[in-house]
Amino acid sequence: MKRIHFYILAFLFIGANLATAQENQDDKKPQGHINQNKFRQLYQEFSTPNMYRTASGAPGSAYYQQQADYEMDIELDDKTQKLYGVETITYTNNSPDDLDYLWVQLDQNVRAKNSQASLKNGGRIPRLQRTSTFVKSYVADPFDGGFNIDYVRDDRGKPLSFTINETMMRIDLPETLEAGDKVSFTIKWWYNVNNHVTNRARSGYEHFAKDGNNAYVIAQFFPRMAVYNDVEGWQNYQFWGNGEFALPFGNYKVNITVPADHILDATGKLQNRKSVFSKKMMQRYDQALESYDKPVIIVTQEEAAAAEKDFSNKKKTWKFYAENVRDFAFATSRKFIWDMQAVDINGKKVMAVSMYPKEGNPLWEEYSTKAVASTLETYSKHTFDYPYHKAISVHAKNQGMEYPMICWNYGRPSEDGTYSERTKFGMISVIIHEVGHNFFPMIVNSDERQWGWMDEGLDTFMQYLSEQEFAKEYPESVASTGGKYPSRRGEASKIVPYMKGSQSRLSPIMSNPENVHQLGPNAYGKPATGLNILRETIMGKEAFDHAFKTYSQRWMFKHPSPEDFFRTMEDASGIDLDWFWRGWFYTTDYVDIGIESVEKYQVASRESKNGGFVYFVGEDDERYKKDNEGQAILSMEQNVPLKEYLMDNFSEQERASMKNPKYFYEVKFNKPGGLVMPIIVECTYEDGTTEMMKYPVQIWRKNDNSAKIVISSSKAIKTLQLDPKLETADIDTSNNAWPSEEGNTDFKKFKENKVKQ
C-alpha cells in the first residue's frame, strides 16, 4: 500500500483547502447537531445550585434538616415472638415551610398479608424449584408481619387522624406546624416478629431447634419519621424491599424489656449497666476498657451454653440513650457470647464489640472483633474520626445489615467447628462492610430509598481499602492467599463480566434500586470500581483522598445528594470529572480500547535554498529502505544538516541533554466501547527493557472513535501492551496487544499470569 507523505509545514494548509473544497461541493449546508461530546459539562443533568446546596458541593447558607426525637418503651415476648411498643416522637420543623401533615414510615408492612411488595415481580412457572421455595410460594399461608397500630395521639392524649398507605402513614395535624416549631405525638403498636432465616428479611429471629432458643436481631421495629428536605420535600416513596431507608437525625431514649436471662446490646449508651450486668461481667467490662491489643470475653461460651438450658419467666429492662443518630436497632438472646476491645481513634476510646452464639465459634471469637477494630481505624483515616462510643458486630445466619453502632453479619462454621477460607473471608468482609456503613449512610446520611449506590457503592469502595489494610495488620489471616486479601469487589477487572453483559439487563448506576436487574453489581460493585479507578488511575491517590475526605466531612450528620458528591470531588481536587460521572454513572456504556495499527517510520533530512526540512518515511515506502542504506536516519552524529542545525541553534550544554531518537512509531488506538479512559501503554523494547506511557483521557476529546500517538525512541520496540495492569475495566483485551494476541507470546504469558492472580 502506498502512502503520500507531505512536508510537515504543508499539512495544515492542504488539509484546510481540502475541507473547504469538499464543503463547496455539497448541495446542502452541513446539518446541525446537539453536543454529544463525552467531555461536555453536566449542566443538563445537574440541578441548579442554590442557597441550600452550593455549586461547590457543600451545604449552602440556608441548608436545613429536620429533627425527630424518640422516647420508646419496648417489650419482646420470646414465647410468642411478638414485639410491643409505645413511642413518643417530638418532631422539629427546621425547614422554611409550614407543614399540615407528617409522613411516618411503617416498613414492617412490607410483610403484611395484603402487601403489594410480594406481587411486584410478577411470576412464572419454573421447571425446577427448591421444595422450600415451592412451599413458601404456593402452599404455606403468607406470614402476617405488618404493624398493628393501636392508636396515634397528640401530646394531650387526643386521637390524631391518620391514613395508612402500604408502608407509609400520613398523620394529619389539627394545626399547621409552622417553620421553627415542634410537635409531639404518641404511637402505640405491635407486630409478629418474623423468622428471618425462613422469611429472609433484614431483621427478625433465628430459631435453634436443638436447644429451643431464639436469637433476635431487631430493626425497622418502630414507626419512623420520613425525611423532609429541599430535594424531595417528603421522601415518602414506598418501601418495596430493595431501596432501603431515608431517615432524619435525632436523639433516642429507649427502654427494652426482655427475658431476664437474655444478653442484649443496642444503638446508644447503656444507662443501667450495673443493674443488668453481673459482678463478673462488670469486672470483665472494666478490663475490656483498657484492652487495646485483644478482646476481653464479657460472657463466655460456657456461660452462654448454660443459659441456653433455662428459660426465665422473669423480665429485665435495658435502658439506652443515643444522641444524634438516624435510627435504632438491638439484638438479644440468652445464647450470646459477648466480647469487647478498646480501639484508639486519635485519642478517643471506642469499643469494638461482638455478640455471637456458640454456633459461630471458633471463627467469630478469632476474627469478628479484630475486623470491627480494623474497620474503624481505616475508615476514620480516610473520612473522619468515628464519632460514636462503640461499634457492634452481631452474628446472624444469612444476614448482612447495618444500623447506627450495630450490625448483623453472616459467616458460620460447620457443626464440628471447621470452616473454609471462603467462609472466613466472607465473614470478615461482611463485618467490614456492615461496620463501615456507620460512616455511609449512618453519618453521611444519603437517601438509600432513591440512590442505593450512595451508601453501598461508597461503602464497598472503602471496604476494599479496609480489606487490604486488614491483611497488612493480620498477615497470618492471608497466609493461604499469598499475603493478599481476596477482595470480591474493587479491582477494575472484577466488574468486567457485569459490564460486558447484555444491555437488556443493565441499568445506569443512577437508577432507583427497585428498577435494576442486578442490584449487587449495579449499586455495590460498579460504583466501588469506578471510585477505585478514579483513585488509582485517573486522579491519583493524593488528590482523590483529599476530595473524598472533604466530601465525608462536609456532609457528616447531613443529607447529601449525588450531585453534592460529584461536585465536591471536582471542587476539592481541581480535576474535571464530568466525563467520568456521565459515562460511568449515567449510562451503561463500557470500556473497550484497542490498538488498531502501528506504523514504523524513519526520519531523513533534505537541504534546500531556504534551509533544511525533516520528512518521515514509512517502512512500506521505497525510500525507507534507500534512506536506511544511505545512513540518512535521524542521528546528530550522522545527519549533517540536522547536526549543523542543532549546533547553530543550541548550546553545547543543551545539545548534551537532548535525546537522539532513531525510531518513530505512529500508534493508532480505536475505541469500540462507549466510555473514554486514559490510554496506558507498556512498551517493551528489543533489548528487554520496558517503559510505561500514560496519556490523559482528554486525548479523546476531539475524536471519540480513534486517537494517535507518536513514540520516538533510540531503541526498537518489540511489543506494545495496552492497559497492562487491567486498570480501566476494559471488557475485551484481545485487541490490547501489538503484535496481535495470536502471535504475541509475551501477551499470552501476561494473560496467563492475570488469570492465576
Q: How confident is the model at residue 139 (pLDDT cuts 50, 70, 90)?
A: confident
For residues 361 and 367, give the distance between their C-alpha atoms in angstroms, rounded to a whole number: 10
Residue among 530, 290, 562 nearest 444 (CA): 562
**Do residues 381 and 408 lie in contact, with contact meaning Cβ atoms separated by under 8 Å?**
no
* Predicted confidence (pLDDT) per residue in 152-172, tens digit: 999 999 999 999 999 999 999
Residue among 381, 261, 276 nearest 309 (CA): 261
Residue type, 517: H
**Helices 452-473 and 526-533: crossing angle, nearest 10°?**
60
Q: What is the mean pLDDT of residues 229-253?
A: 95
Q: Which residues contact 85 (CB under 8 A, 6 or more apart)?
A: 72, 73, 74, 75, 188, 189, 190, 221, 222
**Do residues 718 and 684 lie in contact, with contact meaning Cβ atoms separated by under 8 Å?**
yes
For residues 217 and 326, give the distance between their C-alpha atoms in angstroms, rounded to a whole number: 18
* Predicted confidence (pLDDT) per residue in 467-497, tens digit: 999 999 999 999 999 999 999 999 999 999 9
Identify the weakest region by mean pLDDT among 87-96, 586-595, 613-622, 654-663: 613-622
Kindly state the cell numbers that stand for 64.
436545613
What is the 3 state secondary structure string of 392-437? Answer: EEEECCCCEEEECCEEEECCCCCCCCCCCHHHHHHHHHHHHHHHHC
Residue type, 637: E
Strands 390-395 and 348-356, by their bridges, are parallel
**Do residues 635 and 662 lie in contact, with contact meaning Cβ atoms separated by under 8 Å?**
yes
- Measured over the CA atoms of residue 611, residue 616, residue 619 and residue 622, the dihedral's sign is negative
For residues 340 and 574, give the distance between their C-alpha atoms in angstroms, rounded to a whole number: 43
Q: How confident is the model at residue 28 (pLDDT cuts 50, 70, 90)?
A: low
What does the pLDDT read at residue 651? Answer: 78
What does the pLDDT read at residue 12? Answer: 33
**Residue for cell digits 457543600?**
58
Kindly state the cell numbers that stand for 693.
506511557
Q: What is the mean pLDDT of residues 420-425?
A: 96
Q: What is the mean pLDDT of residues 243-271?
A: 97
For residues 364 and 358, give the distance between their C-alpha atoms in angstroms, rounded to a whole number: 9
For residues 593 and 157, give the distance between their C-alpha atoms in angstroms, rounded to a whole number: 68
For residues 355 and 340, give the distance between their C-alpha atoms in angstroms, rounded to a whole number: 9
For residues 590 and 615, give the distance between their C-alpha atoms in angstroms, rounded to a whole number: 39
What does the pLDDT read at residue 16? Answer: 40
CA atoms within 13 Å, Cβ hemisphere of 360: 30
The total number of residues written for the chain in this structure: 757
For residues 173 and 162, give the distance between their C-alpha atoms in angstroms, rounded to a whole number: 9
Strands 182-192 and 148-154, by their bridges, are antiparallel
CA atoms within 13 Å, Cβ hemisphere of 719: 22
Q: Residue 398 region, left (φ>0) first, then alpha (ψ -120 to 50), else beta?
A: left
The larger pLDDT score, comparing residue 435 to residue 29, is at 435
Identify the weakest region by mean pLDDT among 52-56, 129-133, 226-230, 299-303: 129-133
* Predicted confidence (pLDDT) per residue in 201-236, tens digit: 899 999 999 999 999 999 999 999 999 999 999 999
**Do residues 457 and 442 lie in contact, with contact meaning Cβ atoms separated by under 8 Å?**
no
Q: Is the pLDDT of residue 597 over 70?
A: yes
Strands 337-345 and 269-270, by their bridges, are unpaired
**Residue for cell digits 412457572?**
125
pTM: 0.90
Q: What angle do CA 515, 528, 35 make, to 5 degrees?
A: 70
Say how far residue 258 (Cα) sits from the centre of its chain.
37
Element (H, E) at 263: strand 263-266
Q: What is the dihedral of CA 322, 323, 329, 332, to 10 degrees?
A: -10
Other C-beta atoms closer than 10 Å to the C-beta of 420 total 10
Strands 263-266 and 737-738, by their bridges, are unpaired
Largest Cα separation within the chain, whole Å, is: 111
Report all structural domains of the chain as residue ranges with CATH numbers, in order of start. 67-119+130-450 (2.60.40.1730), 592-756 (no CATH)
**Do residues 684 and 746 lie in contact, with contact meaning Cβ atoms separated by under 8 Å?**
yes
Residue-wise DSSP of 668-707: EEE--SS----EEEEEEETTS-EEEEEE-GGGGTT-SSEE
Q: What are phi and psi of 470, to 5 degrees?
A: -60, -40
What does the pLDDT read at residue 642? Answer: 61
Other C-beta atoms closer than 10 Å to the C-beta of 740 total 13
**Do residues 547 and 37 lie in contact, with contact meaning Cβ atoms separated by under 8 Å?**
no
Find residue 691's DSSP bridge partners: 683
Residue 261 vs residues 147, 258, 397: alpha-carbon distances, Å = 27, 8, 22
Q: Which residues contact 721 (CB under 8 A, 6 or more apart)?
A: 681, 682, 684, 736, 737, 746, 747, 750
Kindly state the cell numbers that stand for 343.
480501639
Q: What is the mean pLDDT of residues 521-535?
A: 98
- Give me the chain's average pLDDT, please: 90
Share of the chain above pLDDT 90, in %: 78
